[in-house]
A and B are shown apart, each in its own frame.
Chain A
């Protein structure tokens, strides 16, 4: 049984063999509380996620829009911590085989201790780290210890990223690369049919052999469908968090619908 960056790779390979994009879903650990977030994450996994992005809450999430900000605030109010999020990851791993990516910000993860974080992430059965405010210039503090444990490091490429920077991000990435679909925060309005977006994804595709996932502003099955042919995976975050507020069942239903959109024509 593979783990870490290999488990991530296997999930994308499987999706490609099924002629579809991988469905990557984001949910915040401890939102609305520990048990409630587990119920929701289980429902989403059962609904058909290929990859789970598990949000480790931070008090000041500057790259996130209002939906995920509010989710992180709720989570912290219910006692979220880095250790708590790692324990959640371990519980998810006991029931599901999908890759788990820890999504967070630099401060809580570095504060936890890079070595300790990497060791306990691997022990919990999570597979990669995605840290929004650690550009490649500063990433080594976490990326080094994480790579040594076989964990993936997901770099981000934005519409504003220059070719020089793109090479630097790709050089630091493993597992997959995250293409930010729009110039803005998570959950902002997106036109998934924008030719400039598709061209950007094609450029990225030609520059890297890693799986490329596209995210920010993807809400509906038709958004997923519009992007499934242009990337190896599609990320849905804010829309899942909102559905989760209506309960695990509503969330599970949305994931099923989104999953249907991943099939390529």
Chain B
């Protein structure tokens, strides 16, 4: 018997199996009886797959040849001067195929589904990134794919709906509840209750019933494993801190997993305080209470009567009223600390990273960037920090445009006026030529107020 590529025995956070995948007092399998056998099957089969060289080799080969791993660790050149110093290393998950870390998990889970003989894949998505990654993995393996997406998000993230459909996935809008991510998860769970015999549910974060939090962490730990080896190779020592944004928490868990045993490495998760803790937010660590939600016991934003609250963040990927149970455990034990960043701060950090490093981060990632000044202030200007650039910002350009930059909008409006004037002068000389009156960008007509025209 050869050693497992990743032995669970080495993981100090993993309790004995009879504890149902509980991380301290968090985790568990709180699902309807109909799903329990499927969840038990996953809990039984996942460790076998992860200990099987053939499975892990295939997973790694796909990450290398298709996803584009390893991703670089880029040392920031001009950012430190703007945030009070430090040596900042950017783990470039934005350079993965599909533009974010989500694909690491999807490739692994669809491989597992195939191994278990499942013939259909379902997934939930909020902003659409996990949906696009799942649809991509399904196209790669030739598996039918259904993605549940809140109707609110379908209209807010229309571009990702087009991407998923182009990739061959069926997108089902969910109108129940708040018609956002949590309701998409509810709808996916309902599908799975009825289809469990032949269907695998690809959960997109380190959440849900055991073994998902554990499995998704292991499929994302490639981020931390690579970053740890890269920093040792580059500077010959471990970093002083690792920083990542947290919604459900998969990119953060993937980064943290490699450093949890290194006690000298401080871990910082960054959650979204949205409009502020007195307003609408997604600050589960700051404002959550222990609850049972989406199959797990964790911290949850809820009323005194145990009803879920709607979360809010400008970043759809952080817009979730729960958090992965392992994060709740790292928080409770003090191994990781969780900071809060508002919508406004995240927007400013998007611009900061773009201008200092030539990297436009996803709004989720921007929360981690925005927390760096606080981390540096605490650890000192000599500190070495790895921050996870979990995704690229292309998907967020519309949001950024409407919130951030009146100057850009004024520039576009002025160009439009000049073009109209030139056209009018031209038409005046050559006769009428009806047609475009507004500037068309990306198929969307832009008005000076940043809203899309008809």
Contact = CB atoms under 8 A, between A and B. Distances in A.
Interface of A: 57-63, 65-66, 69-70, 73, 76, 81-83, 105-112, 132-135, 137-138, 155-162, 165, 169, 180, 183-185, 188
A138 B37 contact: no
A218 B177 CA distance: 25
Interface of B: 20, 28-38, 40, 176-177, 182-183, 186, 189-190, 193-194, 196-197, 289, 291-295, 300, 302, 304-308
Contacts of A76: 307
A161 B36 contact: yes
Nearest to B289: A111
Given A81-B305, A137-B20, A185-B190, A106 B33 contact: no
Contacts of A69: 176-177
Nearest to A158: B34
A58 B37 contact: no
Contacts of A62: 31-32, 186, 189-190, 193, 294
Contact of A82 (B20, B183, B292, B305): B305
Given A63-B32, A135-B33, A185 B193 contact: yes
B37 A133 contact: no
A112 B29 contact: no
A133 B177 contact: no
A188 B36 CA distance: 19
Given A63-B190, A137-B29, A165-B40, 10 more contacts: A58-B307, A62-B186, A65-B190, A69-B177, A73-B176, A83-B305, A107-B306, A183-B193, A184-B194, A185-B193
A63 B34 CA distance: 9
Contact of B32 (A82, A138, A156, A162): A156
Contact of B293 (A60, A155, A184): A60
A110 B292 contact: yes
Contact of A134 (B30, B176, B183): B30
Given A107-B293, A161-B37, A165-B37, A138 B30 contact: yes
Contacts of B306: 58, 82, 107-112
Chain B binding site: helix, strand, loop or mixed by DSSP? mixed
Nearest to B187: A62
A183 B196 contact: yes
Residue from B20, B28, B193 with most neighbouring chain A CB atoms (10 Å): B193
16 contacts: A59-B308, A60-B308, A62-B189, A76-B307, A82-B306, A107-B308, A108-B305, A133-B32, A133-B295, A138-B30, A160-B197, A165-B33, A180-B34, A184-B194, A185-B190, A185-B193
B177 A138 contact: no
Residue from A62, A106, A160 with most neighbouring chain B CB atoms (10 Å): A62
A106 B292 contact: yes
B307 A161 contact: no
A209 to B, nearest CB: 20
Contact of A107 (B176, B197, B302): B302
A142 to B, nearest CB: 11
B177 to A, nearest CB: 7
Q: Which 5 A-B pairs have the closest CB atoms?
A: A111-B306, A108-B306, A184-B194, A158-B34, A106-B292
A69 B35 CA distance: 19
A160 B34 contact: yes
A160 B177 contact: no
Contacts of A59: 177, 307-308
Residue from B33, B182, B294 with most neighbouring chain A CB atoms (10 Å): B33
Contacts of B307: 57-59, 76, 108
Nearest to B194: A184
B197 to A, nearest CB: 7
B176 A184 contact: no
Contacts of A159: 34
A27 to B, nearest CB: 19
A53 B35 CA distance: 22
B194 A180 contact: no
Contacts of A132: 32
A257 to B, nearest CB: 28
Contacts of B32: 62-63, 132-133, 156, 158
Nearest to B310: A59
A111 B34 contact: no
Contacts of B197: 160, 183
Contacts of B182: 60
B265 to A, nearest CB: 34
A85 B304 CA distance: 15
Given A107-B293, A161-B36, A138 B194 contact: no
Contacts of A107: 291-293, 300, 302, 306, 308
B302 A160 contact: no
A137 B29 CA distance: 8
A162 B20 CA distance: 17
B193 A63 contact: yes
A162 B34 CA distance: 10
A161 B189 CA distance: 17
B393 to A, nearest CB: 31
A161 B30 CA distance: 15
Contacts of A73: 176-177
A138 B305 CA distance: 20
B36 A165 contact: yes
Contacts of B190: 62-63, 65, 185
Nearest to B295: A133
Contacts of A110: 291-292, 306
Contacts of B302: 107, 111
